[in-house]
A and B are shown apart, each in its own frame.
Chain A
Amino acid sequence: QSALTQPASVSGSLGQSITISCIGTSSDIGIYNFVSWYQQHPGKAPKLLIYDVTERPSGVSNRFSGSKSGNTASLTISGLQAEDEADYYCNSYTGISTVLFGVGTKLTVL
């Protein structure tokens, strides 16, 4: 199976909001609400930001939010901060007991 589609890079200025898309198919994102988002800083393990499309784990800033429409999930980061500069990955359950990750998006904070 191919990876979920994400933009290679996005950028935004301090204090602005950005949205990262994650495009799947009717066999994964389109049918299941099991989409998660992860943040990864260089040399570090990924960190869970959002799960079940919209849920935020305890301790994650409310500047991070998730949504879904059709086969596309989205991560929005509001009030961009310098420490948000990182790689972001989505993943989704695929219905055959497997998981697909997105290709990843590099966020640059200007």
Chain B
Amino acid sequence: QIHLVQSGAEVRKPGASVKVSCKTSGYTFTTYSFAWVRQAPGQGLEWLGWVNTHNDNTNYEQSFQGRITMTTDTSANTAYLELKSLRSDDTAIYYCARKPSFWGATNFDYWGQGTLVIVSS
């Protein structure tokens, strides 16, 4: 069975950074890529970017350029999302999702359970 298990909830002050992990099992890690998606309280889904596990190529939503980093650790079958210079409007549930590595693929077929990040002074 395929599982994506994310790290636990985090509370940060404005200006701080947070790193969320997404540990996978049940399939060969490098045969798929990852997308990261967030959902603010009561709001819709927002795509943040994706990372290719095979070559570490990334592509980020433009509005996050400069403060977002997506990485993977193939030895640990884990993907990571780091967001810096946090603001209160970064408060959201952050999801990792598996996607085919094909450039146009938007089918995120397996999702983590979500990690709540709260940014508050």
By a beta-carbon cutoff of 8 Å, the part of chain A in contact with chain B is: 3, 32, 34-36, 38, 40, 45-48, 51-52, 55, 57, 89, 91-93, 97-104
16 contacting pairs across A/B (C-beta < 8 A): A35-B106, A36-B106, A36-B107, A40-B45, A46-B111, A51-B107, A91-B45, A92-B106, A93-B106, A97-B59, A98-B47, A99-B35, A99-B47, A99-B106, A101-B37, A102-B44
Chain B residues with Cβ below 8 Å from A48 are 107-109
Tier of interface size on chain B: 20 to 34
Cα separation A46 to B99 with both chains bound (whole Å) = 14
Most chain-A CB neighbours within 10 Å: which of B103, B109, B113? B109
Indicate whether B82 reaches chain A with its CB closer than 8 angstroms: no
Given A3-B44, A98-B61, the answer on whether A34 and B109 have CB atoms closer than 8 Å is no
Given A45-B113, A45-B114: A101 in contact with B47 (beta carbons within 8 A): yes
Q: Is the CB of A103 within 8 A of B44?
A: yes
Q: How many A-B residue pairs have CB under 8 A?
A: 64
**A97 with B103: in contact, given A104-B44, A104-B45 (CB under 8 Å)?**
yes
Report whether A57 and B107 are in contact in the complex, using a CB–CB cutoff of 8 Å: yes
Q: Which residue of A lies closest to B35 (CB)?
A: A99
Cα distance A65–B105 when bound, in Å?
18
Cross-chain contact of A36 among B46, B108, B113 (Cβ < 8 A)? B108
- Residues B44 and A91 in contact, CB atoms below 8 Å apart: no
> Residue B104 at the A interface, CB < 8 A?
yes
Cβ-defined partner of B106 (8 Å) among A40, A51, A103: A51
Convert B17-45 into 0s and 1s, putting 1 for each residue whose CB lies closer than 8 angstroms to a CB of A.
00000000000000000010100000011
**A100: which B residues are within 8 A, CB to CB?**
47
Residues of B within 8 A of A91 (CB): 45, 47, 106
CA distance in complex: A92, B107 (Å): 9
